[in-house]
Chain A
Amino acid sequence: MMGRGRLAAWGLGLAALVALPFVYRDPYHLHILVLILIWSFAYTSWSMMGRFGLVSLGHGGFMGIGAYVTALLWNHLGLSPWIGIPISMAAAGALALIVGYPCFRFRITGHYFVLVTLALSGIVLQVITATRDYTGGSLGYTPNRTSGNKLLALQFDDKTTWYLIALGVWLFGIVVWHWVDRSMARYALEAISEDEDAAAAAGVDVTAEKLKITLLSALMTALAGAIYCQYQMFITPDTVSGIAVSLQMVFAAIVGGLFVSLGPTVGAIITILLAETLRIGFGTQAVGWDNLVYGVLLVLFIIFLPKGILGSLLDRLKPQRKVPRAHEQEAVQVARPGA
């Protein structure tokens, strides 16, 4: 249960976040904030299953499906994103079930699960590139500008509107995170991540519980991809899909903190600011540097700060949280063979 103080802090913080664009109007800074909010939502979606040891490198695929399916339906069939987004989410969800069911049914866990999802990322990327007649391939894709109703097309020119949409989506992600955290499903998933047989002996339908959280995570990630596409009005396979995006999600969630609701948000702040600093400071020379920095930082974090920045900070502020959570280190072990 949330204490009164915490609830008040959340309320105040939210009010400040909602008020921000009406007080502060610098478009570049608002743009960065929108990006941070959208990616925070994507990272939170990833961590929904990542925190239970279900490390997926396939989420770039779900995000790509969200973005591309929405944009393709709009351009080719004139379908409003209001319909296109649910369809794209359903498509990502279906793919998650198709890949997840055999994995969970036949107990593909740990490193092998990571490899299967890695392949999923690669396949989606290949499909987008191979169908370049429709998707534009690696050159990228742009949803047609609407000449009609902007709300129907989900296309807005001003940053304030986008900021509020992104804030709403981000908040939705945080609420879902807390909802799962306080549900019985969390007990089941924690149990499954430790010992599937023992969880089954407690009556847990292991396959079903894993499928449910995977489905939820995939649906949310597809939504993140679609929102990103609508905001940027330009997508390429590399920015919304593929292995690099998947790795970035893992990196951000682990660096920020996998086991606290705002951890992925902190991770997004760090990754976006890092990418922007490199872009502005070094220009085109620095293309790809952010991925190099991510890689090095990821190794350092998994070794020295497995709970991430926010998780470790909270631990330090409140040394005796309800239960000693040393075990939480184990969840990142899958990314750290032999540890």
Chain B
Amino acid sequence: MLEVSGLVKRFGGFTAVNNVSFRVDQGEILGLIGPNGSGKSTIFNMLSGTLAPTSGSILFAGHEIAGLAPHRIINRGIGRTFQIPRPFRRLTIFENVALAGFYGQGRHSRAKAEEAAERSLAMVGLPTDRHASVDGLGAAGLKKLELAKALATAPKLLLADESLGGLDEAEMDQAADMLRNIRDELGITIIWVEHIMGVLMRVVDRVMVLDHGEKISEGLPSAVAGDPRVIEVYLGTDAETTQAAAAEARRRAGG
């Protein structure tokens, strides 16, 4: 469904993403991990149209989308969340999502937008009350709103950017389950960018690891977590988590 090849992004002399190629299949959850500054967000921004690639191709459902404006990409069926939630505080929760439902689905009708808003809010577990203010939401609530906005655009592919930062453990598990439900129930393909490896490894079908803008590993979670290059990249910063994740993944693969 998504085929990325030879993707490059340079900012002046700095190469943020260097010749990255990958593909995502229909109905898959692909995890995208890597340390800070490894190019994850840059790749996301190119997939969603916020940044134009320096070179390379992004084929979505057979069409080249590299360099298209964000609203066009969304109307083709790629929704995104932001790493730090960006709600519209001048609008109510419902209006936030209805806006995405209206413009994200190609401005069909208000009724269709409001229906999409109700569905998306219910899916993520936020109140569908039309007057509820965004100001009443905490960190977890804002993440849910971010997800509801993306879902209301009726995506075929969802780009979830570090959905779990700032959540406690129970909330993390809940959010991870939610992403899986979104895939299972709505059939939405997902690319999930995450710092926190443990939870991610539990949910994704495949993982791709980036370091300094290059792809260093790709495969099943169990294989990737055991990859010496991945352990090296995460060593010192996140070695325990990596190994725990590897153990967990191996255990799950075995049982």
Chain A: residues with CB nearer than 8 A to chain B?
Answer: 184, 187-188, 190-191, 193-195, 197-206, 322-325, 327-328
Q: List 10 A-B contacts (CB under 8 A).
A: A184-B107, A188-B99, A188-B103, A194-B88, A197-B50, A200-B50, A201-B74, A202-B99, A202-B100, A202-B153
Residues of B within 8 A of A205 (CB): 69, 71, 103
Q: Name the residue on B nearest A194 (C-beta).
A: B88
Compute how far the CA of A235 lies from the CA of B58 in the bound complex, rounded to whole angstroms: 58
Q: Name the residue on B nearest A190 (C-beta).
A: B90
Contacting pair B104 A202 (CB below 8 A): yes
Q: How many residues of B contact A (CB 8 A)?
A: 36
Nearest chain B CB to A333 CB, angstrom units: 13
Q: Chain B, 87-108, contact with A by CB distance < 8 Å: what is the 0/1 string?
A: 1111110011011101111110
Contacting pair A198 B92 (CB below 8 A): no
Q: Name the residue on B nearest A209 (C-beta).
A: B103
Contacting pair A206 B71 (CB below 8 A): yes
Q: Name the residue on B nearest A197 (C-beta).
A: B50
- Say yes or no: A323-B82 contact (C-beta < 8 A), given A184-B113, A195-B88, A203-B100: no
Residues of A within 8 A of B87 (CB): 198
Residues of B within 8 A of A199 (CB): 88
Nearest chain A CB to B73 CB, angstrom units: 9
Nearest chain B CB to A60 CB, angstrom units: 28
- Say yes or no: A201-B103 contact (C-beta < 8 A), given A324-B133, A327-B89: no
Q: Does B23 contact A (CB under 8 A)?
A: no
Closest 4 pairs (CB-CB, A-B): A203-B104, A203-B103, A198-B86, A200-B70
Residues of B within 8 A of A203 (CB): 71, 74-75, 100, 102-106, 153
A184-B98, A201-B50, A325-B90 given. 20 additional CB < 8 A pairs? A184-B103, A187-B91, A187-B95, A187-B99, A188-B103, A190-B90, A191-B88, A191-B99, A194-B88, A201-B82, A202-B103, A202-B153, A203-B100, A203-B102, A203-B103, A203-B105, A205-B103, A323-B92, A323-B133, A327-B90
Q: Name the residue on A nearest B105 (C-beta).
A: A203
Q: Name the residue on A nearest B153 (C-beta).
A: A203
Contacting pair B69 A194 (CB below 8 A): no
Q: Chain B, 60-96, contact with A by CB distance < 8 Å: what is the 0/1 string?
A: 0000000001110011000010100011111110011
Residues of A within 8 A of B89 (CB): 194, 327
Chain A binding surface, main DSSP class? helix
Nearest chain B CB to A105 CB, angstrom units: 10
Q: Does B171 contact A (CB under 8 A)?
A: no
- Say yes or no: A194-B90 contact (C-beta < 8 A), given A202-B74, A202-B149, A324-B133: yes
Residues from 194 to 216 in B contacting A, C-beta threshold 8 Å:
none
Q: Does B232 contact A (CB under 8 A)?
A: no
Contacting pair B74 A190 (CB below 8 A): no
Nearest chain B CB to A12 CB, angstrom units: 29
Residues of B within 8 A of A198 (CB): 82, 86-88
Contacting pair B71 A200 (CB below 8 A): yes
Q: Name the residue on B nearest A53 (C-beta).
A: B90
Nearest chain A CB to B77 CB, angstrom units: 11
Q: Name the residue on B nearest A208 (C-beta).
A: B71
Residues of A within 8 A of B82 (CB): 198, 201
Q: Does B110 contact A (CB under 8 A)?
A: yes
Contacting pair A324 B135 (CB below 8 A): yes
Contacting pair A191 B91 (CB below 8 A): yes
Nearest chain A CB to B188 CB, angstrom units: 16
Nearest chain A CB to B44 CB, angstrom units: 11
Contacting pair A323 B88 (CB below 8 A): no
Nearest chain B CB to A5 CB, angstrom units: 20
Residues of A within 8 A of B105 (CB): 203
Residues of A within 8 A of B74 (CB): 200-203
Compute how far the CA of A114 lies from the CA of B99 in the bound complex, rounded to whole angstroms: 27
Compute how far the CA of A188 lies from the CA of B88 in the bound complex, rounded to whole angstroms: 10
Contacting pair A190 B102 (CB below 8 A): no
Q: Does B131 contact A (CB under 8 A)?
A: yes
Q: Does B48 contact A (CB under 8 A)?
A: yes
Residues of A within 8 A of B92 (CB): 323
Give the residue among A204, A322, A324, A328 with the most B Cβ atoms within 10 A.
Answer: A204
Give the residue among A190, A193, A200, A202 with the most B Cβ atoms within 10 A.
Answer: A202
Nearest chain B CB to A84 CB, angstrom units: 35
Residues from 129 to 145 in B contacting A, C-beta threshold 8 Å:
131, 133, 135
Residues of B within 8 A of A191 (CB): 88, 90-91, 96, 99
Compute how far the CA of A194 lies from the CA of B89 in the bound complex, rounded to whole angstroms: 8
Residues of B within 8 A of A195 (CB): 86, 88
Q: Name the residue on B nearest A184 (C-beta).
A: B102
Residues of B within 8 A of A327 (CB): 89-90
Contacting pair B103 A197 (CB below 8 A): no
Compute how far the CA of A203 lies from the CA of B100 in the bound complex, rounded to whole angstroms: 6
Residues of B within 8 A of A202 (CB): 74, 99-100, 103-104, 149, 153
Compute how far the CA of A60 lies from the CA of B140 in the bound complex, rounded to whole angstroms: 47
Residues of A within 8 A of B98 (CB): 184, 187
